[in-house]
Structures are given as structure tokens and as C-alpha cells.
């Protein structure tokens, strides 16, 4: 195994742009989610809480649900060459299972793990190398929310004749759908497939279902992960408290929100910039939308995407959707 990893770093994650996004987060009192994955420590914290609280790790039925979707997607692909694009790849475990399935079906597979976190991309690359050779893996560090040239990023000479299978697992929860779905739809060509997963509100009552899943967020591991952003900027633990609530978001959707409420004044300094937080001020650290299957179909249809098949966990807390261009 080579001791060197070659990554492509998109301009959306160049230092000047990252600094600008950080200042904007502090100025608006709304943290860009990418800053929760910025350091190796934060990445390790996220992987640890994902292991404990994510249904894909704790619920065997959830893993089986994903595997069913992988089988269905692979069965639909007729072309020999497949370009798997993992948007928000995380640690890459799901993508690696999909890569193995495609390889075992005789497909020639290449893989682009894409994430805002360099550490995550490296982790996904390492996981994928157990399945595919290194020269078939093209790691990309990119901020999907701000990159305006995603089409060009994935349209390299070596992949143009391959069908795209795009994964977007658990990502839509942390984005405003009206900003992200148009970009996602632009990547799906007529012969391509999208595997899209969403965190769901269980049960027939949407509002009650969102309340039921609050413990998946309001727990010690998630609290520590989210607070790391503030602690690294010089905020002290006793400067305030982290509170989780449910609020109405865009398009009739509800979301879980984590806000840090300052109980005493604090000033944060970023080089020559100063940000003063007064008592009773709050900063939104995180939000996560919850969907229903019907809401997923409605959102995707609004951007020219059609659900061809879908799989729900028995808990009704997670769904996977096989999607193509309408």
C-alpha cells in the first residue's frame, strides 16, 4: 500500500474561503455545519457518536434496508463501467459495501469520496481501498453547499463513459432543501441513478414523530461533538448551555435545532475580528430536518427527480430511495 494519498481540494475549502465562512457563521450566529467536521478531533467524535446512535450501526434491520437498496441499484445498471460518487461520504462504510457489490457483479468501478472534511475523505478512501485499487479512487474535499462547478468536478475524461451512481446518505437533513436539491439534481444525467437516504419521523403523526427522535440528538456524545466548535474558539463550558428544540423549517418541514444560550458575556476573537455575545444571546450550532416518505418524494419531484423504489426500516426512522431523472 502506498504511503501517499492524493486528494483534490476544491476552492470552496481553501483557507481564505474557510475563514470567510467562519466569520460569517459568527456574525450571523448560525454555524455552518462544516465546522463540526473541521478537525481530526471532531471527525473522531462524530464517528464515535455515529457508531452509538446511528440506526445504520445499531439496528440490523437498517443495515439490511440499505443492502436491499444496493442490490436494486446494482441490478438496474447495465453499463460495464460505473462511477460511484459518494456525496458526504463520511467514513465510507456504506459506499464500500456498494463498491464490493458492484465489483462482484463484474463491473469496472471507480469511486469519488467527497466530503467537506479532509479526515472523512481520507477515512472513506482507506475503507474503499479494501475493495478497489488506489488508481480507481479520486478523493475530493469540497463544500457542496457553496461549490458552483460540481458538474465539472465529476466530469473527468476517465469517467465520462461510465454511468454515475450517486449516493447522498443522511445529508439532506443538514441542508436547506431549496439550496441543495437543485445542485444534486444537476448531477443526475438521464442514465444515472441516485441513492438518497433521509432521516424520518416515525409514525402517522409527523409532529409527534419528530419529538420521539429527540434523544438521538440530545445526548452526551452529540453535545460534546457540537460544543467542541465553541470550546476551540475560547468559549468556556459554563458560559452557557446547549438546548435542543423542534422548530418549523422550510417547505412545511420540521427540524431538530441545537442552540447555545449564553448565560454570561463572552468575546470571541479571530485574528483582528471580534465577536461579542451578550447574556441571553444564542447561537445556532446545528439543525437536522426530519422527513416522511411522502415529503421526500414531493421535494425530489420539485427538482425533476423521481423515486423509482424505496425501502423503510421497521422503526420508520430511516428511508432509502432509488431515484432517477424524470
pLDDT tens digits along 241-297: 999 999 998 888 999 999 999 999 999 999 999 999 999 999 999 999 999 999 999
DSSP 252: G
Three-class DSSP category at 4: coil
C-alpha cell at 118: 479532509
User: In this structure, what are the phi and psi dihedrals at residue 211, rounded to the nearest 5 degrees?
Assistant: -65, -35
pLDDT tens digits along 50-68: 888 777 667 789 999 999 9
pLDDT tens digits along 77-133: 999 999 999 999 988 999 999 999 999 999 999 999 999 999 899 999 999 999 999
The CATH classification number of 8-16+77-202+291-325 equals 3.40.50.150
State the pLDDT confidence band at 1, using cuts at 50, 70 and 90. low
DSSP 116-144: S-HHHHHHHHHHHTTTS-GGGB--EE--T
Q: Residue 64 has what pLDDT?
A: 93
Give percent of the chain above pLDDT 70.
Answer: 98
Strand partners, 199: 318
Contacts of 15 (CB under 8 A, 6+ apart): none
Ordered by start, the domain boundaries in the chain are 8-16+77-202+291-325
Strand partners, 258: 244, 286
Q: Say what the pTM is.
A: 0.92
User: What is the Cα–Cα distance from 160 to 254, expressed in whole angstroms?
Assistant: 39
State the pLDDT confidence band at 231, using cuts at 50, 70 and 90. very high
Cβ–Cβ under 8 Å, residues 265 and 240: no
Amino acid at each position: 500500500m502506498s504511503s501517499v494519498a492524493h486528494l483534490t481540494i476544491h476552492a470552496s475549502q481553501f483557507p481564505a474561503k474557510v475563514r470567510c465562512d467562519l466569520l460569517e457563521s459568527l456574525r450571523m450566529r448560525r454555524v455552518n455545519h462544516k465546522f463540526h467536521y473541521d478537525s481530526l478531533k471532531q471527525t473522531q467524535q462524530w464517528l464515535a457518536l455515529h457508531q452509538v446512535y446511528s440506526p445504520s450501526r445499531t439496528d440490523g434491520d437498517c443495515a439490511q434496508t440499505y443492502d436491499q437498496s444496493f442490490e436494486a441499484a446494482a441490478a438496474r445498471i447495465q453499463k460495464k463501467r460505473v462511477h460511484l460518487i459518494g456525496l458526504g461520504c463520511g467514513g465510507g462504510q456504506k459506499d464500500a459495501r456498494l463498491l464490493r457489490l458492484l465489483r462482484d457483479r463484474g463491473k469496472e468501478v471507480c469511486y469519488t469520496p467527497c466530503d467537506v472534511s479532509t479526515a472523512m475523505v481520507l477515512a472513506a478512501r482507506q475503507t474503499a481501498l479494501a475493495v478497489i485499487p488506489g488508481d480507481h479512487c479520486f478523493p475530493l474535499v469540497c463544500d457542496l453547499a457553496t461549490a458552483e462547478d460540481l458538474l465539472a468536478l465529476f466530469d473527468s475524461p476517465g469517467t465520462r463513459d461510465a454511468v454515475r451512481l450517486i449516493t447522498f446518505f443522511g445529508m439532506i437533513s443538514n441542508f436547506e432543501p431549496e439550496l441543495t436539491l437543485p445542485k444534486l439534481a444537476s448531477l443526475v444525467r438521464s442514465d444515472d441513478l441516485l441513492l438518497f437516504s433521509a432521516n424520518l419521523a416515525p409514525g402517522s403523526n409527523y409532529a409527534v414523530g419528530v419529538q420521539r427522535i429527540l434523544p438521538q440528538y440530545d445526548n452526551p456524545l452529540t453535545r460534546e461533538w457540537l460544543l467542541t466548535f465553541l470550546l476551540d474558539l475560547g468559549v468556556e463550558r459554563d458560559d452557557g448551555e446547549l438546548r435542543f428544540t423542534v422548530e418549523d423549517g422550510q417547505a412545511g418541514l420540521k427540524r431538530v435545532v441545537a442552540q447555545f444560550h449564553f448565560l454570561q458575556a463572552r468575546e470571541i476573537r479571530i485574528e483582528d475580528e471580534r465577536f461579542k455575545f451578550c447574556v441571553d444571546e444564542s447561537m445556532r450550532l446545528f439543525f437536522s430536518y426530519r422527513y416522511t416518505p411522502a415529503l421526500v418524494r414531493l421535494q425530489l419531484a420539485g427538482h425533476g427527480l423521481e423515486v423509482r423504489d424505496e425501502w423503510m426500516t421497521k422503526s420508520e426512522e430511516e428511508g432509502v430511495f432509488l431515484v432517477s431523472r424524470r
